[in-house]
Structure 1
Amino acid sequence: MTDPAPADAAAVALELERLRGTMEAGFARVDGALALLVQRSDQSDRQLADHETRLDSLERSRWPLPSLAVLIALLGVVIPLWQATAAH
């Protein structure tokens, strides 16, 4: 086997350098895209946590409504009965 000619070695070295530059640019693009995805994921997590907090507060403030409806219905029955017994 013979050593490759110096011109061929230089051409190979040049192509390897170009390939290295292309790979670095590709990795930089992928890293940027991944960083953007992570940022969006973090924003989505914060937004979801905010919605959960707001939903919990709405659920806590809503629970008396059915109780109030029952109380008003009972008063609607008791007051006429009381008035009817008081009139006699």
Structure 2
Amino acid sequence: MTPTESGQVALELERMHGTMKEGFARVDGALALLVQRSDQTDKDIEDLRQDVENLKRNRWPLPAVAAITGCAALGLTLYEIAAR
């Protein structure tokens, strides 16, 4: 190999090194963005899970209110029948 050929090889290797470095930087940036989105999605899922748990906890009075209303209606009906 002559000195000019080795210089050209070195120059080409330097170009390839720059291209690889640039490609890895892009991949690193894309991976960082994906990790950030994944973390945000995990946070959103946890928030939704907490909201569902709150809704489950707060719905318990509804059957009790329905039962009390039904008993009150039955009591009023029986009172009306007895009053006649």
User: Which residue, out of 49, 52, 56, partners 2:53?
Assistant: 56
CA RMSD of aligned residues (A): 1.3
Return 5+ residue gaps in structure 1 as ranges.
none
Give the fraction of aligned pairs with identical amino acids, expressed as a percent: 49
Distance 1:28 1:35 in 2: 10
Q: Does 1:14 find its partner at 2:35?
A: no
Distance 1:18 1:74 in 2: 85
Aligned residue identity for 2:5: D
TM-score (structure 2 length as normaliser) = 0.91
The aligned residue for residue 29 of structure 1 is: 26
When structure 1 is superposed on structure 2, of 12-21 and 75-84 the one drifting more is 75-84
Distance 2:30 2:60 in 1: 45
Aligned residue identity for 2:76: I
The aligned residue for residue 73 of structure 1 is: 70
| Deviation for aligned residue 1:32 | 0.3
| Deviation for aligned residue 1:51 | 1.0
| Deviation for aligned residue 1:29 | 0.3
Distance 1:52 1:39 in 2: 20
Distance 2:12 2:60 in 1: 72
TM-score (structure 1 length as normaliser) = 0.87
